[in-house]
């Protein structure tokens, strides 16, 4: 008898699609197998098959059914009716192809391999309740409600990890405050942008340079939830153990950014191959340029995962963007606590917010804050004509009278603003010795400069552990010429200062004494950033819920590269777990579930299976 079979989502929290396929019993040529592609990525024992004989085949006739199969052994598998057949010279695929439809064979399948639920060996994994909730108390958490929570209220990550942990074939762009790409849990999982001209794994649209180092921590935290390296015996783990994280800095040290930077960030991610964009950011105004950028990303096949917002309000009534943009490629995420109640701060919306995800007491990677952000040069030691000019001065630093100075500047000569000229025999030094906390793993100086230096005269940039860096220090820049009124960005890693308590950085302008001079030099927007490769933090927000979903989207794309963003978003929404706290407050009423999303399939058509 041939019976039509429909595969429903009721299996989603038990077995993945590949296991479901393995339960179908084939007869005749209804689904003749010439390879094992119908079993997806399932593991099985090589050179073995499970065979079920037709009821009319007596035990002494069973060997004849296997004629020509090079059988090494055959034994009954308990009272299941199946026999485990070990073969020589035939692969599992060849055996299934040969036996499918053979007279006397009711069913044949691989001898599948199963594993205990896979958990990573990472030192802080036990604090990641969103991935595995055992009603643990998150000791470093500041959100006291439902801490500890209710065991089982989690993403079923371990069930999903039995099938896939490696999402490295899917690039996820983190549009945020940057990413501490040297972090011990992130360095191995950063996007390799070197071939595209981005060796630091992305771009910074705040400072407009190719170094998206996080000077806040928020973006590093988001990146860790998506793809902190799993099973490396360090720190935490992400939804994906292996990942390709593209760092796109669109928010500054204060955590704020603009339309221009965010739109450029979305465009950059789309143009450079991201399949998922995470935006844990928001505002209250409809922004046509932003909306259009998301539409263009969707047209390129990118899934855009965004935060609902942290005002505790209804987005259907008080819109929050980008959550409220009506784009099919966009999915908006609310925050749940450890008992799967809606977090007190989380926005919601029956027609605008799609799913919920863990968002309180979330432990992840972090980065330290800058030692100095936007130095005003007042504490610098200066010799010669160096002068600090405050941002309120009317001096125009780039020659464009429509663009006044917004930052304090350091100039030489002192009358640089009125087109003065530096001294012919100048040997002028400006430097500052900074006090460091002593726990940093690296120190980076960033700044802008504009200069006009005559041939034979020079500008130098040096650093040292302490004191005047031009007495005994390391040279970073040496040259002359002109920037023709333009301003250039600079980033210097001060490797000798890593792990020290002090670090000095300075600029020297020197003339050779001849008659040729220029208009001198201006420096501005100077910052000294430190970074820790071992820092972690526990924080709350829909910003923390969103990367759980972005990581899951990457997992789905990686598991099935043929999926469209529509397939991925539908699997996330429909493969979720119904949660009472989200009923009527989100479009799906579901909390995301990694195993459920992986196992979510549309009911197939024109599939037949025999019921023996």
Q: Where are the alpha helices (DSSP H) in 61-156?
A: 62-65, 92-99
pLDDT, position 541: 97
Token digits of residue 337: 């606590």
Task: Say whether pLDDT at 340 is over 50.
Answer: yes
CB proximity list for 449: less than 8 A, separation 6 or greater = 459, 483, 487, 488, 490, 521, 522, 523, 524
Lowest mean pLDDT among 158-167, 391-400, 439-448, 591-600: 391-400
Q: How confident is the model over 277-290, as pLDDT tens digits? A: 999 999 999 999 99
Give yes or no for a contact between 582 and 349, defined as CB atoms under 8 angstroms apart: no
pTM to 2 decimals? Answer: 0.69
Looking at residue 567, what DSSP letter applies? Answer: H
How far, in Å, CA of 27 to CA of 101, rounded? 6
Residue 5 scores a pLDDT above 50: no
- Between CA 559 and CA 552 the distance in angstroms is 10
Say if residue 612's pLDDT is above 80. no
112-121, 316-325, 531-540, range with greatest mean pLDDT? 316-325
In this predicted structure, the answer to whether residue 432 has a pLDDT above a threshold of 70 is yes
**Does 114 have pLDDT greater than 80?**
no
- What kind of fold does domain 2-114 have according to CATH? Alpha-Beta Plaits (3.30.70)
pLDDT of amino acid 13: 31
Q: Tell me the DSSP string of 197-241.
A: TBTTSEEETTTTBS----SSSHHHHHHHHHHPPTTSSSS---SSS
CA–CA separation, 240 and 164 (whole Å): 8
Q: Which CATH number fits domain 381-531: 2.60.120.10, 2.60.120.200, 3.20.20.140, 3.40.50.2300?
A: 2.60.120.200
pLDDT at 564 over 60: yes
Q: pLDDT tens-digit profile of 468-488?
A: 999 999 999 888 877 655 677
Condensed to tens digits (0 to 9), the pLDDT of residues 29-64 reads 223 333 555 555 567 888 999 999 999 999 899 999
Predicted confidence at residue 112, as pLDDT, reads: 83
Q: Report whether pLDDT(230) > 90.
A: yes
Confidence (pLDDT) at 438: 72
C-alpha span between 371 and 388 (Å, rounded)? 20
**Distances in whole angstroms, Cα of residue 572 to Cα of each of 19, 183, 352, 385, 591:** 20, 29, 16, 63, 9
pLDDT of residue 399: 44
Distance CA 217, CA 270 (A): 24
For the residues 16-35, what does the mean pLDDT come to? 31
463: its two tokens: 């650093």
Instruction: Answer whether residue 578 shows pLDDT above 90.
Output: yes
**What is the predicted pLDDT for the residue at 393?**
67
CATH topology match: 2-114 vs 125-367+536-599: no
Q: pLDDT value at position 392?
A: 65
Q: What is the mean pLDDT of the chain?
A: 86
Confidence of residue 436 (pLDDT cuts 50, 70, 90): confident
Q: Average pLDDT of 567-594?
A: 97
> What's the pLDDT score for residue 72?
92
Would the pLDDT of 375 be above 80? yes
pLDDT top residue among 171 and 79: 171
pLDDT at 91: 86
SS (H, E, C) 13-72: CCCCHHHHHHCCCCCCCCCCCCCCHHHCCCCEEEEEEEEEECCCCCHHHHHHHCCCCCEE
User: Tokens 């036990």 map to which residue?
Assistant: 126
Listed by start position, the domains of the chain span 2-114, 125-367+536-599, 381-531
Q: Which superfamily does CATH assign the domain made up of 125-367+536-599 to?
A: Peptidase S8/S53 domain (3.40.50.200)
Please give the pLDDT value at position 524.
86
Q: Which tens digit of pLDDT belongs to each residue from 117-137?
A: 679 999 999 999 999 999 999
Report the percentage of the chain scoring pLDDT > 70.
Answer: 87
């Amino acid at each position: 008898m041939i019976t039509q079979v429909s595969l429903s989502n009721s299996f989603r929290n038990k077995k993945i699609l590949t296991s479901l396929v393995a339960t179908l019993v084939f007869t005749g040529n209804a689904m003749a197998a010439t390879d094992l592609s119908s079993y997806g990525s399932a593991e099985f024992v090589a050179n073995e098959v499970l065979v079920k004989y037709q009821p009319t085949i007596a035990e002494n006739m069973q060997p004849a059914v296997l004629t020509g199969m090079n059988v090494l052994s055959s034994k009954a598998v308990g009272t299941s009716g199946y026999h485990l057949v070990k073969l020589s010279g035939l692969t599992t695929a060849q055996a299934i192809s040969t036996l499918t439809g053979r007279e006397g064979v009711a069913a044949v399948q691989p001898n599948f391999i199963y594993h205990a639920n896979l958990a990573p060996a990472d030192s802080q994994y036990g604090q990641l309740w969103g991935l595995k909730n055992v009603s643990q108390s998150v000791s470093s958490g500041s959100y006291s409600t439902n801490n500890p929570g209710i065991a089982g209220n989690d993403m079923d990550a371990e069930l999903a990890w039995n099938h896939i942990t490696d999402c490295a074939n899917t690039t996820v762009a983190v549009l945020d405050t940057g990413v501490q790409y040297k972090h011990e849990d992130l360095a191995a999982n950063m996007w390799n942008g070197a071939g595209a001209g981005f060796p630091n794994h992305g771009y910074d649209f705040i400072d407009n340079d190719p170094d998206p180092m996080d000077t806040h921590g928020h973006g590093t935290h988001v990146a860790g939830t998506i793809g902190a390296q799993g099973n490396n015996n360090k720190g935490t783990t992400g939804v994906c153990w292996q990942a390709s994280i593209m760092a796109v800095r669109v928010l500054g040290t204060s955590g704020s950014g603009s339309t221009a930077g965010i739109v450029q960030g979305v465009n950059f991610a789309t143009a450079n191959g991201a399949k998922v964009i995470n935006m844990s950011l928001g505002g209250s105004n409809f922004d046509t340029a932003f909306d259009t950028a998301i539409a263009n990303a969707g047209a390129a096949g990118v899934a855009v995962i965004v935060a609902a917002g942290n005002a505790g309000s209804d987005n259907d009534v008080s819109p929050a963007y980008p959550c409220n943009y009506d784009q099919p490629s966009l999915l908006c995420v609310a925050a749940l606590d450890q008992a799967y109640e809606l977090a007190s701060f989380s926005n919601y919306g029956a027609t605008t917010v799609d799913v919920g995800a863990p968002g309180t007491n979330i432990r992840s990677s972090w980065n330290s804050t800058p030692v100095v952000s936007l130095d005003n040069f007042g504490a610098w030691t200066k010799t010669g004509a160096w002068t600090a000019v405050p941002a309120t001065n009317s001096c125009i630093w780039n020659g464009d009278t429509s663009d006044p100075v917004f930052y304090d500047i350091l100039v030489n000569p002192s009358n640089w603003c009125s087109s003065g000229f530096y001294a012919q025999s100048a040997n002028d030094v400006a430097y500052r010795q900074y006090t460091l906390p002593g726990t940093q793993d690296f120190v980076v100086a960033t700044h802008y400069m504009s200069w006009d230096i005559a041939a034979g005269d020079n500008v130098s940039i040096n650093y040292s552990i302490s004191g005047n860096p031009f007495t005994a220090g390391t040279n970073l820049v040496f040259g002359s010429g002109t920037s023709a009124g333009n301003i250039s960005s600079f980033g210097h890693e001060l490797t000798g200062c890593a792990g020290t308590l002090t670090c000095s950085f300075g600029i020297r302008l020197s003339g050779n004494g001849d008659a040729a001079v220029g208009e001198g030099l201006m420096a501005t927007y100077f910052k000294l950033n430190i970074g820790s490769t071992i820092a972690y933090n526990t924080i709350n927000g829909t910003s923390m819920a969103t990367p759980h979903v972005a990581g899951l989207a990457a997992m789905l794309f990686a598991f099935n590269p043929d999926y469209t963003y529509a397939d991925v978003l539908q699997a996330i929404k429909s493969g979720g777990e119904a949660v009472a706290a989200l009923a009527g407050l989100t479009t799906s009423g579901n909390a995301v579930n990694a195993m459920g999303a992986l196992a979510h399939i549309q009911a197939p058509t024109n599939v037949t299976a025999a019921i023996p």
